[in-house]
Chain A
Amino acid sequence: MTNKPPGASTGPAGRKARPSAPTPEKLREDQLTGKQRHRHFFSRLDYKYSPYLYVAPFFILFALVGLFPLVYTFVVSINDWDLLGGAGEWVGLENYTAELSSPLFWNSLFNTFSIFLLSAIPQLAIATFIAAMLDQNLRAKTFWRMSVLVPYVVTPVAVTLIFSNAFDEKYGLINNLLQVFNVDPVAWKTSVFPSHLAIATMVNWRWTGYNALILLAAMQAVPRELHESAALDGAGKLRRFFSITLPSIRPTMIFVIITATIGGMQIFTEPKLFNASSSVPGGPDRQYQTTVLYLWDLAFNRGDFGRASAVAWMLFLIIILIGVINFLLSRKIASSGEKRAGRRPARRGRRAGKTAIPASGQDMAEARRRNHG
């Protein structure tokens, strides 16, 4: 931004010089000169306004289909809006107070957070462990890296159908196995905690390997010299893992946690399809009805757009709040870990032949796209 690009002046000026050059030709090619002057004028316009044309499609489309609906959700939420009746009268924050005093809303929030905790904690632990296994001088390195990513290409709908079968209370694989060990069958689809566990298992299965690769990338960015000198000082493998690897990948771990949170807040597909025989979405007694599922039910089954929009807007605020916490945390970590991580970007870039994106932007991006549903 600071230094003006040479192209800005040399380009048009260079062409300007041509028409005003030698005269006999000029007389002869009078028309051509006019053409060129024309071209010069357009070239300036081109230079000045083309950038706006290039970014315009994105901004226009994004405003129409991304931002406008989100803002308009708020408008709907302060009206008594109906699926069939359309816009009703203005009710202020009534929809919000109604939802805040609704046990169903709180139930959905509880379920969402519970499923999230059950998926995020084991997922992070196992992903870190697998990443540490992958972060060794393996034979057939590419094969092992690809092997952990297989679940990622199974779509959430297919994952849910497969696990929904395995967790079937009567015929499912899991209860069959439990029977072999003389354990009583578990009511996976009708009691609260087991159903949360089952849904968390689906999320974990699909995402653990994926996160392991992210953590592996962070581990590989730790300078090998650190490991080598620590090994020379007599530090064992375990000691090096806890004293070097873990502290170095902490920023990445926090990003993985936060992104998993934001994605987990929007979980929909798994609870929606977990139990097809339940007429109420999210279990007969809403045992695992998450907030987005509740929102969907409120809007499109019960037709109450106003209250559903209030739920959407409150969930939106929760997610933004988490985003802000994320931002503050990552800044704090970035400033405290600067010295240690000083070499990382270059290393990463060189290894992959690409430049790594600053983590704070990248994890936000992931969070937005990675809604489990």
Chain B
Amino acid sequence: MVNQTLNRAAPLPRRKRSHSFTTESRPGFLVYGILLAFFLGSTYPLWYSMVIGSSDSGVFASARPPLLPGGHFWSNVAEVFNTVDFWAALGNSLVVSSVITLSVVSFSTLAGYAFAKLRFRGREGLLVFVIATLAVPTQLGIIPLFMMMKEFGWTGSLGAIMIPTLVTAFGVFFMRQYLVDNIPDELIEAARVDGASMIGTFWHVGVPAARPAMAILSLFTFMTAWTDYLWPMLVAPQTPTLQVALSQLQSARYVDYTIVMAGALMATIPLLVLFVVAGKQLVSGIMTGAVKG
């Protein structure tokens, strides 16, 4: 354990790596050109939705679609507000995603900490169970889940949307993998020798050490909850999340694409903001192979 901690902090390999960087030449314009083309392809659909979403419906009558946004964006936005309750949907999405994130991250940290650092009978068996359930597509259980929600009279409530994803096997596994290497056993022993209770040790040793992993897990859990469509659409179309409201906008207005596009753009803005704020963390989260949203 000590060795691993030291290894990570050791500056020597890092220097060696940057050395090999300096000997490597910078790539030519071709590489940047390709990446730029890919970037344009990645962003063009958003630009396109901006162009269409800011035009009036006459835009489709012209032979060639315009390349620049028109001047009708705000009137289209107003039309979106008239068709669906955008703010309520935004609020629903925020509440649902936040509660799910809070629940997944707390329970995962707690269980992951126990699996990583505490000894108890049956630990290995239970951990194998967690890993085995990683591959289980729980989404396919929607029929009994729906029946349950109906039975309890919960359909149409925000709670019903959250319930199936309040915990994930992935979260537990992820926190366990992180904590097993990032808390020295000595630290936990020391806390116990000092007479700390188990929960005190968790709170004062486990949680601070887990913080970086908790942040990454939060980010991806939030994204997953935010983008979910099938279950919220099924169980609570009356209290729509943003995704459901957006799809309702389409079915109400499938002829007038300009308004649908304006709505799609508006619904994308919150995650674009998140991307600007936390894009770096998203990239490193994916690249460490830690979290796959």
Q: Are B275 and A149 in contact (CB-based, < 8 A)?
A: yes
Tell yes or no: A333 within 8 A of B by CB.
Answer: no
* Shortest CB distance A300–B (Å): 7
Known: A10-B193, A273-B247, A369-B170. A147 touches B39 (CB 8 A): yes
Known: A57-B107, A162-B45, A364-B134. A369 touches B293 (CB 8 A): yes
Q: Are A155 and B172 in contact (CB-based, < 8 A)?
A: no
* Shortest CB distance A291–B (Å): 10
Tell yes or no: A228 within 8 A of B by CB.
Answer: yes
Tell yes or no: A27 within 8 A of B by CB.
Answer: no
Within 8 A of A (CB), among B145-179: 145-148, 163-170, 172-174, 177-178
Q: Which residues of A contact B182 (CB under 8 A)?
A: 354-355
Q: Which residues of A contact B274 (CB under 8 A)?
A: 153
Q: Are B287 and A213 in contact (CB-based, < 8 A)?
A: yes
Q: Which residues of B contact A4 (CB under 8 A)?
A: 119
Q: Return the contact of B52 from the options A133, A165, A346, A367 (Cβ within 8 A).
A: A165
CA of A139 to CA of B32, assembled, Å: 9
Q: Are A214 and B286 in contact (CB-based, < 8 A)?
A: yes
* Shortest CB distance A229–B (Å): 12
- Which stretch from A64-72, A100-108, A239-247 is at the chain B interface? A64-72
Tally of A interface residues using CB under 8 Å: 131
Q: Which residues of A contact B204 (CB under 8 A)?
A: none
Q: Are B137 and A262 in contact (CB-based, < 8 A)?
A: yes
CA of A262 to CA of B193, assembled, Å: 48
Known: A157-B243, A213-B286, A361-B134. A165 touches B230 (CB 8 A): no
Q: Are A357 and B174 in contact (CB-based, < 8 A)?
A: yes
CA of A231 to CA of B83, assembled, Å: 62
Q: Which residues of A contact B284 (CB under 8 A)?
A: 352
Q: Return the contact of B272 from the options A153, A156, A163, A323 (Cβ within 8 A).
A: A153
Known: A149-B275, A155-B227, A371-B139. A214 touches B287 (CB 8 A): yes
Which of B48, B120, B212 neighbours the largest number of chain A CB atoms within 10 Å of its CB?
A: B120
Q: Are B35 and A130 in contact (CB-based, < 8 A)?
A: yes
Q: Which residues of B contact A90 (CB under 8 A)?
A: none
Q: Which residue of B lies closest to A8 (CB)?
A: B119
Tell yes or no: A24 within 8 A of B by CB.
Answer: no
Tell yes or no: A197 within 8 A of B by CB.
Answer: no
CA of A17 to CA of B170, assembled, Å: 43
Q: Are B138 and A70 in contact (CB-based, < 8 A)?
A: yes
Q: Are A148 and B229 in contact (CB-based, < 8 A)?
A: no
Tell yes or no: A250 within 8 A of B by CB.
Answer: no
Tell yes or no: B238 within 8 A of A by CB.
Answer: no
Q: Which residues of A contact B148 (CB under 8 A)?
A: 69
- Which stretch from A91-99, A109-117, A307-315, A334-342 is at the chain B interface? A307-315
Majority secondary structure, B binding face: helix
Within 8 A of A (CB), among B10-65: 10, 13-14, 17, 20-21, 23-27, 31-32, 34-35, 38-39, 41-43, 45-46, 48-49, 52, 60, 63-65
Q: Which residue of B lies closest to A298 (CB)?
A: B143
Tell yes or no: A121 within 8 A of B by CB.
Answer: no
Q: Are A149 and B107 in contact (CB-based, < 8 A)?
A: no
CA of A103 to CA of B272, assembled, Å: 43
Q: Which residues of B contact A315 (CB under 8 A)?
A: 137, 140
Tally of B interface residues using CB under 8 Å: 128
* Shortest CB distance A136–B (Å): 4
Q: Which residues of B contact A361 (CB under 8 A)?
A: 131, 134, 173, 177
Q: Which residues of A contact B94 (CB under 8 A)?
A: none
Within 8 A of A (CB), among B254-292: 254, 257, 260-261, 263-265, 267-268, 271-272, 274-275, 279-280, 282-284, 286-290, 292
Tell yes or no: A37 within 8 A of B by CB.
Answer: no
Tell yes or no: B250 within 8 A of A by CB.
Answer: yes
Q: Return the contact of A58 from the options B10, B142, B172, B286 (Cβ within 8 A).
A: B172
Tell yes or no: A31 within 8 A of B by CB.
Answer: no
CA of A277 to CA of B23, assembled, Å: 59
Q: Which residues of A contact B289 (CB under 8 A)?
A: 214, 217, 348, 356-357, 359, 362
Known: A67-B133, A365-B174. A5 touches B185 (CB 8 A): yes
Q: Which residue of B lies closest to A327 (CB)?
A: B135
* Shortest CB distance B93–A (Å): 10
Q: Are B292 and A373 in contact (CB-based, < 8 A)?
A: no
Q: Which residue of A lies closest to B220 (CB)?
A: A369
* Shortest CB distance A40–B (Å): 10
Q: Are A368 and B170 in contact (CB-based, < 8 A)?
A: yes
Q: Which residue of A lies closest to B93 (CB)?
A: A155
26 of the cross-chain contacts (CB-CB < 8 Å) are A8-B119, A62-B133, A69-B142, A69-B144, A133-B38, A136-B31, A139-B26, A147-B35, A147-B39, A149-B283, A150-B46, A153-B271, A155-B226, A155-B243, A156-B229, A157-B246, A161-B261, A171-B257, A173-B48, A210-B286, A217-B289, A225-B20, A308-B143, A309-B144, A356-B289, A364-B134
Residues of chain B whose beta carbon lies under 8 Å from any beta carbon of chain A? 7-8, 10, 13-14, 17, 20-21, 23-27, 31-32, 34-35, 38-39, 41-43, 45-46, 48-49, 52, 60, 63-65, 107-108, 110-111, 113-115, 118-120, 123-124, 126, 130-131, 133-148, 163-170, 172-174, 177-178, 180-182, 185, 188-189, 192-193, 195, 197-199, 202, 212-213, 223-224, 226-227, 229-230, 234, 242-243, 246-247, 250-251, 254, 257, 260-261, 263-265, 267-268, 271-272, 274-275, 279-280, 282-284, 286-290, 292-293
The 3 closest A-B pairs by CB, nearest first: A69-B141, A366-B292, A276-B254
Task: Beyond A58-B107, A65-B167, A137-B24, list 20 extra A-B contacts (CB 8 Å).
Answer: A4-B119, A5-B185, A46-B198, A58-B111, A76-B144, A142-B280, A146-B275, A150-B42, A154-B271, A156-B243, A158-B264, A162-B49, A205-B41, A213-B287, A217-B286, A300-B234, A316-B137, A320-B135, A357-B174, A357-B177
